[in-house]
Structure 1
Amino acid sequence: MGRFPNTLFLLALSWVAGLSDAQQNLGTINITFPERPSNVALTNPVNDNFLGISWELSSLDTLWGFTADKLPDAMQNYLHNIRARISNPLRMRIGGNGMDISTYDPDKTDVMLTLTDPDAYFNDIPCTYGPVFFDVLNAMSDKVGDMSYILGLPMRQPEFYDNAVLLAQAAQEKLGDKLDSLLLGNEPDLYQKHGHKDQYGISDYVPDVGTVLQMLEDAGAYDPQHSNIGGPTTCCNWNLGDMLDAGFGQYAYKYYTYQHYPTHICQGPNAENTNMTYFVTHSNVKPYVVWEDDNFRGINQAKKAGVPTLMTEYNSVSCGGSNISDTFAMPLWATDVALAAAGSNISGIFLHTREFDVTYNLFDPPSPNDPTKSGWNTGPIYYTTLVIAETLSATGSVVVDLNVDSPHAVAYGVYDNGGESRGKLVFINYASQETLPPSFAEQDTSYTFYINPNVADTIGIRYLVADNLYSGSKSWGTTDQTITWANQTVGPAGDLNGKQHTEFVHCTEGCNVTVPGPGLALVYLLSDTSDKFFHGNSTVALPFDAGDDSGSLGSFGVRGNDVWVWATSAVLSMVLGAGWLW
Structure 2
Amino acid sequence: MWPIRSLHLWLGAGYVALGVVNASITVYYPEGQNPFATTTAGAANYTGAAAYDPTTLQPPPVPTGQVFQYNVPLQNGGTPGLSIPIPAGFLGFSIEMSVVNQVVGKNSSIIQVPFLNLMSNLQQRSGRVLVRVGGNTQDTATLVPSTPDGKILEKDIAGASGPTQTPPLIFTPDLLTMLRSVSSFVNVRWFLGIPFNDTSNWRLGIVESGQSIIGDYLLGFQAGNEPDLYARHGHRPANYSPTDYFNEFGQLAQALQADTNVLNPHQLIGPNIASADWQPDQVWSTGFITTYSADLAFLAVEHYPTDNCFAQFGVGNPQDPQALFGQFLSHSFQQGLVAPYLASTLLAQQSGKQFLMMETNTASCGGFAGLSDAFGAALWGLDFAMQMAFSNFTGALMHVGGQSVFYNPFTPPPTNQSTFHQWTVGPIYYSALVMAEAMGPSNDTQVLDLAVNNGSNYTPGYAFYENGNPVRLALFNFNSDPSGASTATANVTINNPDGSSATPSQVQVKYLLAPSVSQKYNFTWANQTFGDVFQSDGRPVGTEQIETVNCDNGICSITIPAPGFALVFLTSNSETETAGAPSTTFATTAVTKLHNTASVDPAVLATSNGHTDMGDHVGSTSPGSVSGATALVVVPGLTVLIAVVAGLAVVRRGML
Name the counterpart of 1:463: 511
SS in 2 for 1:140: helix
Residues 413 and 422, structure 2, Cα contact 8 Å, conserved in 1: yes
Name 1:182's counterpart in structure 2. Answer: 221
Check if 1:211 corresponds to 2:211. no
**Pair 1:86–1:542, CA change in 2 (3 A):** farther
TM-score by length of structure 1 reads 0.80
Partner residue of 1:141? 183
The separation in 1 between residues aligned to 2:408 and 2:365, in whole angstroms, is 12
Contact 1:156–1:191 (Cα < 8 Å) also in 2: no
Distance 1:370 1:76, change over 3 A: farther
- Which secondary structure does the structure 2 equivalent of 1:254 belong to? strand
* Aligned partner (choices 257, 262, 266) of residue 309 of structure 2: 266
For the 8 Å contact 2:448–2:464, the answer to whether it is kept is yes
2:250, 2:302 → 1: CA distance? 22
The answer as to whether partners of 2:119 and 2:188 remain within 8 angstroms in 1 is no
Aligned partners of 2:70 and 2:491 also within 8 Å: yes
Partner in structure 1 of residue 492 of structure 2: 451
Match of 2:560 in 1: 515
Tell me which residue corresponds to 2:570. 525
Aligned to 1:241: 281
Retained in 2: the 8 A contact 1:49–1:86? yes
Counterpart in 1 of 2:210?
Answer: 171
1:297 aligns with 2:324: no
Deviation string 1:501-535 (CA, Å, 9 cap, x unpaired) is: 1111233621111011111000001235x344439
Q: Is the 8 A contact 1:154 1:185 kept in 2?
A: yes
Match of 1:275 among 317, 324, 344: 324
Equivalent residue number for residue 169 of structure 2: 127
Paired-residue identity, %: 29
Counterpart-to-counterpart distance in 1, 2:112 and 2:158: 25
* Equivalent of residue 358 in structure 1, options 401, 405, 411: 405
Rounded to whole Å, the distance in 2 between the matches of 1:264 and 1:174 is: 36
Partner of 2:465: 415
Alignment match, 1:32: 73
1:143-191 CA-partner distances (Å, limit 9, x unpaired): 3x211111011113325x421x221111101111111111111010011
Residue 134 of structure 1 aligns to a residue in which SS? helix
CA contact (8 A) 1:399 1:415 kept: yes
Q: Distance in 2 between matches of 1:52 and 1:248?
A: 26
Q: Secondary structure at the match of 2:441?
A: coil
1:123 CA displacement = 5.0
Contact 2:506-2:556 at 8 Å conserved across structures: no
Q: How many Å separate the matches in 1 of 2:147 and 2:410? A: 28
CA deviation map 1:123-158 (0-9, x unaligned)? 523210011101211222223x21111101111332
SS of 2:177's partner is helix
Q: Which residue of 2 aligns with 1:349?
A: 396
CA distance in 1, matches of 2:348, 2:457: 33
| CA–CA distance in structure 1, aligned partners of residues 193 and 375 of structure 2 | 31
* Match in the other structure for 2:131: 92
Q: Which runs of 5+ in 1 are unaligned?
A: 1-24, 434-440, 473-478, 544-582
Maintained 8 Å contact 1:257/1:312: yes
Structure 2 stretches lacking a partner, 5+ long: 1-65, 312-317, 495-501, 590-656
Give the conservation status (yes or no) of the 8 Å contact 2:94–2:398: yes
CA displacement at 1:37 relative to structure 2 = 5.6
Secondary structure of 1:431's aligned partner = coil
Alpha-carbon spacing, 1:126–1:400, altered in 2? closer, same or farther (3 Å): same
Q: Is the alpha carbon distance of 1:372 and 1:106 closer, same or farther for their aligned partners in structure 2, counting shifts above 3 Å? A: farther
Which residue of structure 1 aligns with residue 547 of structure 2? 503
Say whether residues 1:106 and 2:145 are aligned partners: yes
1:315 matched residue in structure 2:
361
Cα 1:107–1:271 shift into 2, 3 Å: closer
Letter in 2 for 1:75: F
- Pairing 1:339–2:383 present: no
Check 1:92–1:442 CA distance in 2 against 1; reply closer, same or farther (3 A cut). closer
Following TM superposition, the consecutive aligned residue runs of length 4 or more in structure 1 with deviations greater than 6 angstroms are 221-224
1:56-92 per-residue CA deviation (whole Å, 9 max, x = no partner) reads 00011111222122222221211111112122x3111
Structure 1 residues 168 and 318: CA distance shift in structure 2, 3 A: same
Structure 1 match to 2:631: none
Matches within 5 A, 1:246-261: 246-249=286-289, 250-252=291-293, 253-261=296-304
Q: 1:286 maps to what in 2?
A: 335
Selected match of 1:328 from 352, 375, 388: 375
Please state which structure has a larger fraction of its residues in helix: 1
| C-alpha contact (below 8 Å) 1:98/1:123 kept by paired residues | no
CA contact (8 A) 2:270 2:298 kept: yes
Corresponding letter in the other structure for 1:502: I
Counterpart amino acid of 1:202? P
The 1-side partners of 2:511 and 2:423 are apart by: 24
Task: Measure, in 1, the Cα distance between the counterparts of 2:559 and 2:379.
Answer: 16
* Per-residue deviation, 1:106: 3.0
Contact residue 265 and residue 273 of structure 1 kept, 8 A: no
Aligned to 1:571: none
CA offset digits 1:237-275 (Å, max 9, x no partner)? 222222111121110211000010110011124236851
Question: What's the secondary structure of 1:412's corresponding residue?
Answer: strand
The normalised TM-score by structure 2 is 0.71
> How has the CA–CA distance of structure 1 residues 124 and 63 changed in structure 2, closer, same or farther, with 3 Å as cutoff?
same
**Cα pair distance change 1:394/1:83, threshold 3 Å:** closer
C-alpha separation in 2, matches of 1:158 and 1:446: 57
Q: Tell me which amino acid in the other structure corresponds to 2:129.
A: L
Specify the alignment match of 1:534 in structure 2. Answer: 578
Q: AA paired with 2:137?
A: G
Q: Which residue is 1:83 aligned to?
A: 123
Instruction: Output the CA distance in 1 between the equivalents of 2:357 and 2:168.
Output: 23
What is the CA RMSD across the aligned residues, in angstroms? 2.4
Residue in structure 1 matched with residue 107 of structure 2 by the alignment: 67
What secondary structure does 1:366 align onto?
Answer: coil
- The number of residue pairs the alignment matches comes to 493
Answering whether residue 266 of structure 2 is matched by residue 227 of structure 1, we say yes
Amino acid in structure 2 at the alignment position of 1:171 = G
Q: Which residue of 1 aligns with 2:4?
A: none
Could you say which residue in structure 1 is the equivalent of 2:197? Answer: 156
* Bigger radius of gyration: 2
1:382 and 1:533 mapped to 2: Cα distance?
Answer: 16
